[in-house]
Copies of this chain bind each other. A is one copy, B any other.
Amino acid sequence: MKFELTREYLDELRQAIDAKDKKKTIAMLQDFHPADIVEVYEELDIEEAQFVFVLLEPTLAADVLVELEEDDRERLLANVPGDVLARKFIDRMDSDDAADIIAELPESLKAEVLSNIADREHAGDIADLLAYDEDSAGGLMAKEMITVNENWTTSTCLRELRIQAQDIDEIYFVYVTDDEGLLKGTLSLKKLVLTQNEYIKEIYDKDIISVTVDTDAEEVANIMGKYDLVAIPVIDSIGRLKGPITIDDVVDVIREEAERDYQMASGISSDVEASDSIFQLLKARLPWLMIGMIGGIFGAKVIENYEQQLALYPEMAFFIPLIAAMGGNVGIQSSAIVVQALASNSMGIESNLKKLLKELGVALLNGLSLSAILLAYNLFDSNSLPLTVTVSSALLVVIIFASIFGTFVPLGLNRLKIDPALATGPFITTVNDIAGLLLYFIIGHMFYTMLM
């Protein structure tokens, strides 16, 4: 049952596709899980993928569509008319998946697809979901769920469950509402199985953690993570139950968020993968490199100011890379710690002043240790006393500056409601590089004047 994509399998599949051998092609695919078929798809070119796609049994094809990456899906659906899309695929999807896919379609196609969905209740659910921002709880939730009224008995409840369950893949939770549809709590299936002939209101769990439709997706992920929830109900502004969010959707949010932060810290601006095209990769990487290069040009200007000093004491150039690199490294460390604390909501309630004092303490200890080691090294290795003193003093000052700067910039961005992760990566390195050079030459000028 375990699927592993091999080159041999892929070669054989490609041969079948090239030979337009429908029977063999479909036989090679139909028993796989949709997620496995997606892995195969990613290796096919668009003609091959389209040939395969029309062969798949519609329910399987609908599942594959849901699992595909957005751009692969777009290519695959490019020639599919709206009514076919609606009747053959959207009708077979859960409302949240359907809404995600329709949201990506061009405006003109959206209405056509929605009006061609056979099940009008399903169409209504999808239209409701389309109204929410995709990065909000409303955008994450599904409409499919089991709800029971608090005034029912367990036997009414079981009967009702049998009816409602037909539309649903799997039951994890039963939600309890009152006559107005307000969310009152949850009923565990365990309780339902263990209890006979009781009123729901006597046995359901009233301690319930919920979010509202406009709660930010990242906050939903933090709440579900903190309370170890497998699903969370979403309510509207007056407390009516709108639908559940299950953890598998939130896992995607967590992964995407982590990937974005990681890429930001590594100087990659948009969401790319190793398998993307050269031009997608270039688009994601060139802008940050441009920032780095402009920073380097500013750095060159700083050094140019001290050209005469360099002509006299060329040894001052030796430690330019060390000072610039250390400013960058320390700045990245400081900002990464802040960015991560903000992302995981584990900032605590320490005041910003306390945070700064702590960072200052770390910076002082880091700076003093490293400067002392460098001093010892240079006293032994270098025969220029001014250089020795300059380098160690500058290193200490640069480390302290970079720590404070690296701590404050993400905190400031966060206060301005800008993603603090922007502060990591090339931006902070570049600024710290330039500041480091400036400090180095100012200090160097001072000591060389004093000691020569």
Residues of chain A whose beta carbon lies under 8 Å from any beta carbon of chain B: 1, 5-7, 10, 33, 35, 42-43, 158, 161-162, 165-166, 168-172, 188-190, 193-194, 207-209, 224-230, 246-248, 250-252, 254-255, 258-259, 261-263, 265-268, 272-275, 278, 281-282, 285-286, 288-290, 292-293, 295-297, 299-301, 303-304, 307-308, 310-311, 314-315, 317-326, 328-330, 332-333, 335-338, 340-341, 344, 346-350, 355, 358, 361-362, 365-366, 369-370, 373-374, 377, 395, 399, 424, 426, 429-430, 433, 437
In the complex, the 6 A-B pairs of residues with the closest C-beta atoms, listed nearest first: A296-B322, A266-B336, A258-B258, A274-B341, A310-B314, A300-B318
Name the B residues within 8 Å of A361 (CB-CB): 278
Give the Cβ gap from A426 to chain B, nearest Cβ, in Å.
Answer: 6
> Is B299 a contact of A161 with CB atoms below 8 Å?
no
**B-side contacts of A224, CB under 8 Å:** 251
Q: CA separation between A255 and B340, bound complex, in Å?
A: 11
Contact B317 A317 (CB under 8 A): yes
Residues of chain B within 8 A of A311, CB atoms compared: 311, 314
A247, B230: Cβ atoms closer than 8 Å? yes
Q: What is the distance, in angstroms, from A167's C-beta to the closest C-beta of chain B?
A: 10
CA distance A307 to B299 in the complex (A): 20
Q: Given known contacts A172-B172, A299-B322, A329-B292, is B162 in contact with A194 (CB within 8 Å)?
A: yes
- Secondary structure class of chain A's binding surface, majority of residues: helix
- Who on chain B is nearest to A250 by CB? B251
Complex contacts, A268 vs chain B, CB 8 Å? 333, 336-337
- Cα A278 to Cα B288 in complex, Å, equals 32
Do A325 and B429 have beta carbons less than 8 Å apart?
A: yes
B228 touches A35 (CB 8 A): yes
Nearest-CB residue, chain B, relative to A249: B228
Contacts of A158 in B (CB 8 A): 193
Given contacts A227-B35, A369-B286, is CB(A358)–CB(B278) below 8 Å?
Answer: yes
List the B residue with the shortest CB-CB distance to A387. Answer: B300
Q: Which residues of B contact A338 (CB under 8 A)?
A: 274
Chain B residues in 8 Å Cβ range of A292 = 325-326, 329
A6 touches B318 (CB 8 A): no
Which of the residues B282, B297, B308 comes within 8 Å of A377, measured between beta carbons? B297
Chain copies in the assembly? 2
**In the assembly, what is the distance between CA of A429 and CA of B315, in Å?**
23
A170 touches which of B188, B299, B333 (Cβ 8 Å)? B188
| Other-chain contact of A247, B251, B285, B289 (Cβ < 8 Å) | B251
Having A165-B190, A259-B340, A310-B314, one finds 6 other A-B pairs with CB under 8 Å, namely A266-B335, A274-B341, A285-B330, A289-B330, A289-B399, A301-B318
Q: Which of B297, B317, B374 contacts A293 (CB 8 A)?
A: B374
Looking at the complex, which one of B42, B230, B346, B399 makes contact with A248 (CB distance below 8 Å)? B230
Residues on the B chain within 8 Å of A332, using CB: 266-267
A-B contact pairs, 6 of them (CB 8 A): A230-B247, A262-B262, A262-B340, A266-B332, A278-B361, A293-B395
Contact A171 to B194, CB < 8 A, known contacts A310-B310, A315-B307:
no
Chain B residues, Cβ within 8 Å of A355: 274
Residue of B188, B274, B293 near A373 (CB, 8 A) is B293
Asked if B273 and A341 sit within 8 Å, CB to CB, the answer is: yes
**CB atoms of A315 and B319 under 8 A apart:** no
CA distance A299 to B349 in the complex (A): 42
Query: Do residues A348 and B267 form an inter-chain contact, with CB atoms below 8 A?
Result: no
A263-B336, A329-B267 known; A193+B209 contact, CB < 8 A: no
Most buried by B among A224, A340, A358, A369: A340
